[in-house]
Amino acid sequence: MALALLAGPLLSPSAVRAEIEILDDTGRSLRLAAPAQRIVSLAPHVTELLFAAGAGGQVVGVVEYSDHPPQARDLPRVGGYSQVDLEAVAALAPDLVIGWQSGNREAHLARLGALGIAVYLNEPRSLDDVARSLEQLGRLAGTSAAADAAAREFRARRDALAARYRERPPVRTFYQIWDQPLMTVNDRHLIADVIRLCGGRNVFGELPALAPRIGEEAVLAADPEAIVASGMGEARPEWLDRWARWPALAAVRAGNLFFVPPDLIQRHTPRILDGAERLCAQLETARERRGRR
């Protein structure tokens, strides 16, 4: 079996540099003898972060839907983020695997660790976590100059949006991840941080689950002023406009049914600020419409 062939992490001769010791997003300590030269990414957003951190050339394997930047599409696949092909990972002889704590199966991550593969877990929960992820991945890959520059640019852009929108009059917002089952986010979710950045207030922020399932009745009771949906791909989901059958909803009365492509707001990457720009403009539209009723 290919799994049995992996005796330990491999390092290229050019990677003889200082040892790296770092805490991952679960607080677990990870030590590398040198910057990673062969990295396998177990989440699409991790793939995108690695490229943004200047480490794209060291990525040797990715999971399905790793489609940004375009050059990531040509990399070998190791299954999906929820169904990792462990033998495919091992066959690539990585010296580092970067996983997604809430997306990958714990059993898969444990198996990789048991094989002696270094595993770093990523789990951004805020916009600042996205910038910090860039810095951390840059350290792991030895690309800190590029990664730190990307993080500074991200923070500067985030701060400019915050200065423009965060103190605007609040807009009661329902963010709909999916239709069946009907799902939203609580205030610990990264998307909720984007809503706050734009001066919005998440009407389901106090629910205990990170991505809770809710009932239609709960939305009607919350009566959000804006409903924002993602769906799949670049197309506005048909189910967003189904809320029009409830004309008494504040969002429906004002015409505040908005769409943001999921790749721009549901991936924990620098592109989330592209989504934030769209969302902030949409919530500003909702404010402007208050005077027209």
Q: Is the dihedral of CA 78, 262, 246, 212 positive or negative?
A: positive
**Residues 193 and 56 reside in one and the same domain:** no
The pLDDT value recorded for residue 2 is: 40
The total domain count for the chain is 2
Considering 84, 118, 151, which residue would you say is the last residue of a domain?
Answer: 151
Complete edge-to-edge strand list for the sheet that includes strand 59-61: 59-61, 39-41, 96-100, 119-122
pLDDT in tens, the chain (293 residues): 443 333 334 444 434 457 999 999 999 999 999 999 999 999 999 999 999 999 999 999 999 999 999 999 999 999 998 899 999 999 999 999 999 998 889 999 999 999 999 999 999 999 999 999 999 999 999 999 999 999 999 999 999 999 999 999 999 999 999 999 999 999 999 999 999 999 999 999 999 999 999 999 999 999 999 999 987 777 888 889 999 999 999 999 999 999 999 999 989 999 999 999 999 999 999 999 996 65
Both structure tokens of 5: 């062939």
Helix/strand/coil for 121: strand
Q: Is the dihedral of CA 165, 166, 172, 174 positive or negative?
A: positive
Both structure tokens of 228: 């924002």
For the whole model, what pTM was predicted?
A: 0.88
Look at residue 42 and tell me if it is in a domain.
Answer: yes
Judge whether 110 and 88 are in contact, CB under 8 Å: no
CATH of the domain at 255: 3.40.50.1980
Considering 151, 178, 204, which residue would you say is the last residue of a domain?
Answer: 151
**Residues 33 and 143 reside in one and the same domain:** yes
Look at residue 38 and tell me if it is in a domain.
Answer: yes
Look at residue 161 and tell me if it is in a domain.
Answer: no
Look at residue 158 and tell me if it is in a domain.
Answer: no
Domain that holds residue 230: 166-292
